[in-house]
Structure 1
Amino acid sequence: MIRSLAKHINGFKKDSILTPVFMLLEVAMEMVIPLLMASIIDDGVEAGNIHHIYTIGIWMVLAACVSLIAGVLGGKFGARASTGFARNLRKAMYENIQTFSFSNIDKFSTAGLVTRLTTDVTNMQNAYQMILRMCTRAPASLICAMAMSFFINARLACVYLIAVIVLGCCLFLIMSRTTKYFQQVFHRYDDLNASIQENINGIRVVKAYVREDYENKKFTKASGNVYKMFVKAESILTLNAPLMQFTVYSCILLISWFGAKMIVNSTFTTGELMSMLTYCMNILMSLMMLSFVFVMITMSYASAQRISEVLNEKSDIVNPENPVMKVSDGSIVFDHVDFAYKKNSEEPVLKDINLAIRPGETIGIIGGTGSAKSSLVNLISRLYDVTAGSVSVGGVDVRKYDIETLRNEVAVVLQKNVLFSGTILDNLRWGDKNATEEECIRACQLACADEFIQKFPKKYETYIEQGGTNVSGGQKQRLCIARALLKKPKILILDDSTSAVDTATDAKIRRAFAEEIPGTTKLIIAQRISSVQHADRIIVMDDGKINGIGTHDELLETNGIYRDVYESQTSGGDFDENGGER
């Protein structure tokens, strides 16, 4: 874990090295100042030597200035190193997420990934800065102050040693108790983010069903869980301050008591006593800083594990060593294909699929909910890999293709249509970033989208809100189809992507496909018989298996499932020759 995180310090190694260097310089100057102060008191004030007071005073000012400058520079370089480290982590996580296959993405929740990119990275940033500054300063200050104290008076310094041991044991007990709460709190953050995301995404449904109170209660519960975990941890951490104050004041009293007796017996000087009291504060404040460092490291350890999970997750779909860089045609062959979303699944989703599709053929796919229609077509563009058997496109196993080459030739309009914030043209050019406006218009005409775009005041410069919330479901589907057509693919897959389109428009889209892109292999998943009845062949899926293949007329005669669906959809009327309802 540490190794996977440490490599993201690249670009900020210099700052990461300079920070502890300047922190050590700051500590060195702070340790010198009490000695100079003792010299002023003993050799200057008590001896009446004004020249000595001036000379040592100048050295004290210089030491303080060097300490100040070193502290400022340490803070500057530490801030640059920690923020740079956080930037690199976010970038690396985001870039790695982009490489994930669908099966990799399924391992993480959306809310969990958001928490990792925000809260967890912020915790790592704070922890890294603490490690560079406090983890250098606190131990160095503690060791140096203890060494100087023993140098001045070993017997009196034993008070510090006892205090450090007692305080260290108490802090260890506190930290061990709080660790488990901090490790649990980030899972509560995931629940909180999930509640927020779900509510915002579905705000229209929430308002339509007047469920604001229910959503408020759900958020309050998630927020309350985070609150409770932090309260439990912080209530234990609050023992830090009184424990530290008790130890500090006890040490001051003991040092003052024993030191005063030693001064009376002429075995100790006033300046040395002042130095010991100063080192007392340095030692105990160093312990307090270490306790805060331990708290931050404890919090960040859970974050570091969660970040490492994302960074170390490798896509299970990768390019072969010598990938095929060209798809010759749109033929598709399924050869004894089995598929399961999880490797250890008891039963595969797809079972022994054997299918051959010719280039330019139009294939309809129909079946009940959960019959694995979408799973079947997801294997063609290698969004998932088969569990057994093989899928070939253009006569080549899809696992031998360069992934980008394959997916550029297989356009998929997914069941969940997604539009991004930007103009209509911006969204269309996701299909082809170099497409001209004329090409975009032509694609929209084929998808029957141009007719409603022309009614917008700004036409193709109309701004689409995030998720396409300012267009209807049918308009969104047609824009997504146009976007896919701009890729000029050899295979076009429409995964129930005309469900929100009226049957007349659906018929127009299919007719345009037949006339304008006859060489493109078209796979149309649909719930309506009218959407597939004019296909060259229709595949009937049932429980992950192919139940029947044939034309519309053939299946009406030979396939019970297809006939039942047809009769249920035509019981209230029949279909015209174009597939539209009369």
Structure 2
Amino acid sequence: MLIALLRRYLGPRWRLLVGVLVFQLAQSLAALYLPTLNADIINNGVAKGDTGYIVRIGGWMLLVTLAQVACSITAVYFGARAAMGLGRDVRLAVFTKVGEFSEREVQLFGAPSLITRSTNDVQQVQMLVLMSCTMMVSAPITAVGGVILAIQQDGRLSWIIAVAVPVLLICVSAVVSRMVPWFRKMQGRIDAVNRVLREQLTGIRVVRAFVREDIETDRFEKVNADVMEAGLNAGRWMTTMFPIVMLILNLASVAVIWFGAFRVQDGMPIGALTAFLSYLVQILMAVMMATFMAVMVPRAAVSATRISEVLDTDPSISTPRAPVEHLEESGTIELAGVGFHYPGAEQPVLTDVSFRVGRGETVAIIGSTGAGKTTLVNLLPRLFDATAGAVYVDGVDVATLDPELLWSRIGLVPQKPYLFSGTVATNLRYGKPDATEEELWRALEIAQAADFVREMDGGLDAVIAQGGTSVSGGQRQRLAIARALVKRPEIYVFDDSFSALDLATDARLRAALRREEGTASFVIVAQRVSTIVDADRIVVLEDGRVVGIGTHEELREGNATYAEIVESQLAVQEAR
């Protein structure tokens, strides 16, 4: 997964990668050249007392060092650009893919996990690319070149390298193999922290209302401690790597000096011994740099797998290959034998639902909790695909329609209205970015929201917090209705969108809707009978089935389920 992800998103940046390779190669060659120059100074300058030779070669070493620094800086610059660009593109790809998901895929992964995958997981892969460009490219060049040059200095001491490098690789591999499972657990536990934190922040009012602060604190401490446990266990193994590397490096250096002393007695130049020692240090340091990568690769591989799971998931709702891009009729909806079954559920949510909404008509849907009302309205804009039957908008099956065309025809006000951080105006223009202020105020007047918006500091420019938490529930619902009105669709779908309104405001809003939007079609899901009493037809749902269709009077007289709902609400009103 990691290699495939890198190939896909680093491929377009091959020029940067070539630049990294070229400058890292130059930097590594310069680093390998310096010990040879140092050996020449010791053998031909210091030993002979030739000051001019020392100054001349020393100046050349200074130039080589400056070139090495310049090449290293340039390589890091190219590597950073490649890594940051990859991170940007992968985050965009994940965001775009999630935007194509239906509610089913979002629920499958979970919102907290999707956030972690697009932030923390992408960061791990991005960091791997950056470290690879700055360290991993030069490490093999330095290691291979160092071995060749060290053997040239004295082949009889090369056995030390032949022993030290395999021992170091075996030790590092043993440590890394024990770190991988903990890194995998850590990413999953970060998901859990995000989930709990998101729930607590979103439901802070409920937490305080039920005095659950201590319980929620304990709950967060538990998942937080799980992350700490995974981090500590991975960290313990990680901390053993560097002492192992330094121990092997120091033992190898001592061995070179010890056995090199005997070689010097046999006529080996002092400069060759110092050069061999420098090359040994460079070789083992290159291996040590590779250990950084050995630490990062497993975690990045886990993250890449999690990212690929998102990118490789096909949305259950897909755009048809040859979508219908033009509709003749305007504002009609028809459900023909519609059924819906959630994956893994024992019973279907909807079964054989059929009714029609003509142009300019108002059709209401009512039923007990769990009857399938919200699922039904989610089928209209194709947030879900029906598992049986078909949904038609303007005479065309929604499964064959261009999604953009379908969504442009429908204005949906969900059961839980959501406002985005920004202002009142930016939220109202969400469906029509070029809407004028006159259009915004018109929508607010119809939605019975103009008065409280005028009283807000800034009016249309009043600040709205994320989720709309800076306004009340009723105000949030009215702003969501106004947002749909600004769009001026041909079909309005209200999913219990009047529940937070008092009866008087509810009545005024519905009257304004019918007066101002007379040619539009309305599908209204409601719990209150008073909200739907004037509907052209009322669809009564019970256990996912249609048990009655008719006007208020017809159903009250001839439908037991509807009559029971009416009587129960009348009893409540009389009790008040």
The question of a shared fold, defined as TM-score above 0.5 by the shorter chain, is answered with yes
CA 1:572 to 1:171, structure 2 compared with 1: closer, same or farther past 3 Å? closer
Aligned to 1:246: 247
Distance 2:321 2:231 in 1: 50
Give the direction of change, closer, same or farther, for the CA distance of 1:459–1:255 in structure 2 (3 Å limit): closer
| CA apart distance, 1:10 | 6.0
Q: Counterpart in 2 of 1:226?
A: 227
Q: Distance in 1 between matches of 2:387 and 2:5?
A: 30
Paired position in structure 1 for 2:364: 364
Q: 1:206 to 1:346 in 2, by over 3 A?
A: closer
Counterpart of 1:491 in structure 2 is 491
**Aligned counterparts, 1:184-203, within 5 A:** 184-203=185-204
* Paired residue secondary structure (2:299): helix
Counterpart for residue 60 of structure 1: 61
Q: 561-570 or 461-470: which moved more?
A: 461-470
Partner of 1:256: 257
**Percentage of identical aligned residues:** 39
Aligned position for 2:158: 157
- Cα distance per residue 1:303-324 (max 9 Å; x no partner): 1111222222333333323322
Partner of 2:222, secondary structure, is: helix
Q: 3-state DSSP class of the match of 1:291?
A: helix
Does residue 408 of structure 2 align to residue 385 of structure 1?
A: no
Question: What is the match of residue 172 of structure 1?
Answer: 173
Task: Provide, for residues 19-44 of structure 1, a one-character-per-residue CA deviation record: whole Å limited to 9, x for no partner.
Answer: 12211111111111111111111122
Alpha carbons of 1:455 and 1:42: their partners in 2 closer, same or farther (altered >3 Å)? closer
Alignment partner, residue 577 of structure 1: none
Unaligned runs of 5+ in 2: none
**What SS does structure 2 have at the residue aligned with 1:47?**
coil
The superposition leaves residues 35-90 of structure 1 with CA deviations (integer Å, 9 ceiling, x where unpaired) of 11111111222233334323322322222121111111111211221112111211
Please give the per-residue CA displacement for 1:534-569, whole angstroms capped at 9, x wherever unaligned.
211111111111121111122122222211111111
Corresponding residue for residue 418 of structure 1: 418
**CA deviations over 1:105-151 (Å, ceiling 9, x no partner):** 22221111221122111111110012222221111111111111112
> How far apart, CA to CA, are the structure 1 residues paired with 2:373 and 2:286?
64
1:257 counterpart letter in structure 2: W
Q: Could you tell me which residue of structure 1 aligns to residue 48 of structure 2?
A: 47
Give 1:298 shift: 0.9
Tell me the equivalent position of 1:210: 211
* Mapped pair 1:522 → 2:522: yes
More displaced 10-residue stretch of structure 1: 386-395 or 512-521: 512-521
Q: Confirm or deny: 8 A CA contact 1:334 1:391 kept in the other structure.
A: yes
Deviates more, 1:80-89 or 1:508-517: 508-517
Partner of 1:298: 298
Describe the superposition over 1:230-288 as per-residue Cα deviations: whole angstroms up to 9, x where unpaired: 1111111222122122212211221111111111122x111111111111211111111
| Cα distance in 2 between the residues matched to 1:364 and 1:262 | 98
Note closer, same or farther for the CA distance 1:510–1:243 as it changes in structure 2 (3 Å cut).
Answer: same
* Whole-Å separation in 2 of the counterparts to 1:379 and 1:71: 58
- Supply the distance in 1 between the matched residues of 2:66 and 2:266 (Cα, whole angstroms): 37
Residues 321-330 or 243-252, more deviating: 321-330
Pairwise mapping of residues 334-353 of structure 1 onto structure 2 (< 5 A)?
A: 334-342=335-343, 345-353=345-353
Q: What is the deviation of 1:365?
A: 0.6
Q: Indicate how the Cα distance of structure 1 residues 72 and 553 shifts in structure 2: closer, same or farther if over 3 A, else same.
A: same
TM-score normalised by structure 2 residue count = 0.96
- 1:209 deviation in Å? 2.9
CA RMSD, 1 decimal: 1.9
Q: Match of 1:232, SS?
A: helix
AA aligned to 1:357 is V
Q: Which residue of 2 aligns with 1:578?
A: none
Is residue 360–residue 519 contact of structure 1 (8 Å, CA) maintained in 2?
Answer: yes
Q: Which residue does the alignment assign to 1:18?
A: 19
SS of match in other structure, 2:319: coil
Provide the C-alpha distance between the structure 2 equivalents of 1:527 and 1:250, rounded to a whole number of angstroms.
Answer: 80
Distance 2:184 2:457 in 1: 54
TM-score (norm 1): 0.95
For 1:312 and 1:270, locate their aligned partners in 2 and report how far apart those are by CA, in whole Å: 60
For residues 118 and 292 of structure 2, the distance between their equivalents in structure 1, rounded to whole angstroms, comes to 24
Q: Which moved more, 1:196-205 or 1:485-494?
A: 196-205
> 1:467-486 residue pairs with structure 2 within 5 A?
467-486=467-486
SS at match of 1:541: strand
CA deviation profile, 1:319-349 (whole Å, cap 9, x unmatched): 323322334222211112221232x544322
CA distance in 2, matches of 1:233, 1:455: 56
Aligned residue number for residue 532 of structure 1: 532
Aligned to 2:94: 93
SS of match in other structure, 1:571: helix
Give the Cα separation in 2 of the matches to 1:273 and 1:290.
26
3-state secondary structure, aligned to 2:481? helix
Supply the AA of the counterpart residue of 2:97: N
1:462 & 1:181 partners in 2: Cα distance? 47
2:308 matched residue in structure 1: 308
Instruction: Give the number of aligned pairs.
Output: 574
Secondary structure of 2:109's aligned partner: coil
1:482-507 deviations in whole A, cap 9, x for unaligned? 11112222211110000000111111
Question: What is the deviation of 1:167?
Answer: 1.3
Alpha-carbon offset, residue 530 of structure 1: 0.9
Secondary structure of 1:239's aligned partner? helix
Q: Contact 1:19 / 1:77 at 8 angstroms: preserved in 2?
A: yes
| Aligned match of 1:146 | 147
Cα contact 1:5–1:308 (8 A) shared by 2: no
Separation in 1, partners of 2:435, 2:66: 63
* 3-state DSSP of counterpart to 2:108: coil
Q: Which moved more, 1:49-58 or 1:364-373?
A: 49-58
Quote the Cα distance in structure 2 between the aligned partners of 1:463 and 1:251.
66
Is the alpha carbon distance of 1:572 and 1:370 closer, same or farther for their aligned partners in structure 2, counting shifts above 3 Å? closer
The structure-2 alpha-carbon separation of the partners of 1:285 and 1:4, relative to structure 1 and needing over 3 Å to count, comes to closer
1:396 aligns with 2:396: yes
Q: CA deviation at 1:573?
A: 4.0
Partner of 1:565: 565
In structure 2, the residue matched to 1:505 is 505
Q: One-letter code of the match for 2:340?
A: F
> What is the distance in 1 between the residues matched to 2:223 and 2:511?
51
1:262-277 pair list within 5 angstroms: 262-266=263-267, 268-277=268-277
Distance in 1 separating the partners of 2:32 and 2:25: 11
Counterpart Cα distance in 2 of 1:347 and 1:235: 49
Counterpart secondary structure, 1:95: helix
Write the distance in 2 (CA, Å) between the matches of 1:269 and 1:484. 86
Look up the SS of the partner of 2:489 in the other structure.
coil
Q: Is this contact kept in 1: 2:76–2:133, CA < 8 A?
A: no
Q: In the alignment, is the contact (CA less than 8 A) between 1:409 and 1:487 conserved in 2?
A: no
Contact conserved, 1:33 with 1:60, CA < 8 A, in 2? yes
SS of residue matched to 2:22? helix
- C-alpha displacement at 1:514, in angstroms? 2.5
Which segments of 5 or more consecutive residues in structure 1 lack a partner in the other structure? 575-580
Distance in 2 between residues matched to 1:3 and 1:505, nearest whole Å: 57
1:405 aligned residue: 405
Stretch of structure 1 that moved more, 451-460 or 101-110? 451-460
CA distance in 2, matches of 1:517, 1:244: 76
Q: Are 1:363 and 1:523, in contact at CA under 8 Å, matched by a contact in 2?
A: yes
Partner of 2:10: 9
1:476 Cα offset (Å): 1.1
Where 2:506 maps in the other structure, the secondary structure is helix
